[in-house]
Amino acid sequence: MPDMNGKGGVGHRGRETAYAFARYGAYVAVVDLDKLGGVATEEHINSIGGEAIFIEVDVSQEMQVKDMVDQTLAAFGRLDYTHDNAGIDGEQALLADQTTENWNRVIAVNLSGVFFGMKYEIPAMLKRGKGAIVNTASVAGLKGFGNIAPYVASKHGVAGFTKSAVADYGTSGIRFNALCHRGDQHPDGCRFLEGESRAHRRCRRQYADGQDGRAICDGRSGRLALLG
């Protein structure tokens, strides 16, 4: 069976992606800093007949990411797909009011974390001559939003070096895609759209009415990751 490695496997989108891969028969390495949530995702996959392991990793730490890839290869023997999904929103403030600490943390997780992942995932896939890497960017990787400049910068970076990966390895048999979801697809992202009241109200209303925004948004994201 193919192996899938998913960083950021505990949050809504990452968890649903892990479940989607498991349903299609992939062996899944669930990767996150949240041990409790990661183990829960791992146990759920195993309980429905899938095969998963959990690896606790801070993706901002390069050697932890390298060890994660090594552990995945040791457990499953190969690496076919990865979903580099780990990310944080950071603090909201006008650009000039952003703290350097917030900037450094958002860039370390959202941008460097994806870079470290690809740095060690790509060689594993090159050995097999094929593979697929899906990076979670955002609509904020395509346009600007107020009060979240570090997040916007990090997601533009993810979208940009996903394109660079295609330029570097486009003939290698590895596919690269960036997933650019909308912030209004889940209530957690609605606060980015405070100035867009219609989208904000629609998102909040959907959640309040009992429509599971996580399933609507993240189930679709999981399927898109599968198509990567």
The CATH number of residue 154's host domain is 3.40.50.720
In a domain, 166, yes or no: yes
In a domain, 197, yes or no: no
- Integer CA distances (angstroms), 181 to 58, 93, 189, 227, in order: 23, 22, 10, 15
111 pLDDT more than 60: yes
Task: Please give the pLDDT value at position 181.
Answer: 77
In a domain, 97, yes or no: yes
In a domain, 195, yes or no: no
- Domain span at 26: 3-184+217-227
CB 43 within 8 A of CB 28: no
Task: Please give the pLDDT value at position 2.
Answer: 53
In a domain, 211, yes or no: no
Q: Pick the residue with more confidence: 99 or 186?
A: 99
136 pLDDT tier (thresholds 50, 70, 90): very high
Residues with catalytic annotation?
151
SS (H, E, C) 88-150: CCCCCCCHHHCCHHHHHHHHHHHHHHHHHHHHHHHHHHHCCCCEEEEEECCHHHCCCCCCCHH
In a domain, 70, yes or no: yes
In a domain, 58, yes or no: yes
Give the number of domains in the chain: 1
* Stated pTM of the model: 0.80
In a domain, 20, yes or no: yes
Q: How far apart are CA 109 and CA 160, in angstroms?
A: 16
Cα end-to-end distance, the chain, whole Å: 17
